[in-house]
Structure 1
Amino acid sequence: MPNDFNTFYGELRMLTMRLRRAQRDESMTPTQIRDLEKKANALIDGYSGDWLHYADASYDACTSTESAFMREHNRAMVGLMALEARRPGEQSITRDELVRRLRDLKETFIRLDRTIPTRVQTYMGSYAANLAYIEEELAGLAPAAAEGRAENSGCYLATAVYGSYDCEPLWTLRRYRDEGLAKTAAGRAFIHCYYATSPAFVRTLGRVHAVQAPIRALLNIWVSRLEARGYASQPYADPDSTAA
């Protein structure tokens, strides 16, 4: 296995490009897709070099925590690309298996978003777009399961705007969601509408600064009002620990 980052990255990029190509190439068989995913994961697991030196030459070597994070991040991205290349009936994967793997990836991206090391976050951003894509896929594959507890789903738009699911504005907004909106019929209807529309918005415009800036300004005003009403900006855990 290569320990030089440039060699490692070159090999991994070739494998991931083939996975992306498989999303459009119907001649790629399920076995070939699985083999590409296995090879990419074996490459990631076997790499023992520095993960961050390419981002900034002045960086100190990766800590063990940063290395573990980057390894899980890359495995999750490979897994998502492999699933995007396979569809029930077309690529010999059952609907139940696809739903299970998407849910597993959703939990992984949530965990990554909550534990992203500071140095990594400076150039990687959040996983809001990945979570939005997965939520859309789950909604299409298993609508009842996706809607089951919408009030505990991820705040996709707000996460994309603020760059993290765990930060003071999101803690306030999530408290308001669970302790305010979810207590009334009108509030629950708003929550349902928000989670039905925000994933598509995030996928399309969630990374556009010109769109993020005015939304963030409006959210800041709303968050301040909520804090004045008693919705604290202290760390908050969703009622369902597996929630987005």
Structure 2
Amino acid sequence: MQLEEALRARIADLQLPPDSFVTIAGPADFAELSDINSEAVAYTGEDVYGRQDEAFFARIHGLGAVLMLIRVDGRAQGYTVAGPAARMAGLFADEPDKGLLFGTALRAGIRGMGWQRRVIDLRLAALFDAGFTAGKAFVSPWNHGSLRNLLAAGLAVVSHDYSYYGQHRFIVERPARGWCQTKEALQREPLPPQGGLEPHRALLAAGWKGRAVERDGPALVYGQAEAC
């Protein structure tokens, strides 16, 4: 099954609030997507959420990404993206079997209403339906809400990157069969801005995986796990 077909099937089964819809976006929507992105960047700052313009959307669309608009009460209020990781980001060129959750931006009117978690689950399910062996995503270590939502959906922090955005990012991943814990030991490290990134980078380099965000601190809880 192709990814767009898988997404259309999953979208058809979504249970959404009244007058809310998720639709596949095309070139005619790229200006709207860019406007939504500008609002999101103004809210979070570019260190947390990357700037994406019409040329960016055209490029990733040509690389196989599927872009989706979130419409509420007849207005485009957000977007989300999924696609093949190896084609969309050179960082993952050696991982052609994995998919990428690439950007969810929401206008102020629908923030805090569960949309981010809803579209994380949607995209992961469609990636696995389409035959990808894992789903990956970038997330800022400062974006505690998004990090919490991604880890709650079964992804884990597996590495750190600075090269793609020119900003610090955790890379999170979920295998199709999930993660199986291999040891009971846990470690906790404060997240920025309360804590620095070096302890996180050291744990990740040693094979630990970030599994959950504790609100107190907040802190990232690390465990030992392998793909099931």
Bigger relative contact order (CA 8 A; separation at least 6): 1
- TM range, normalised to the smaller chain? 0.3 to 0.5
Larger Rg: 1
- Report the TM-score, using the length of structure 1 for normalisation: 0.32
Bigger helix fraction: 1
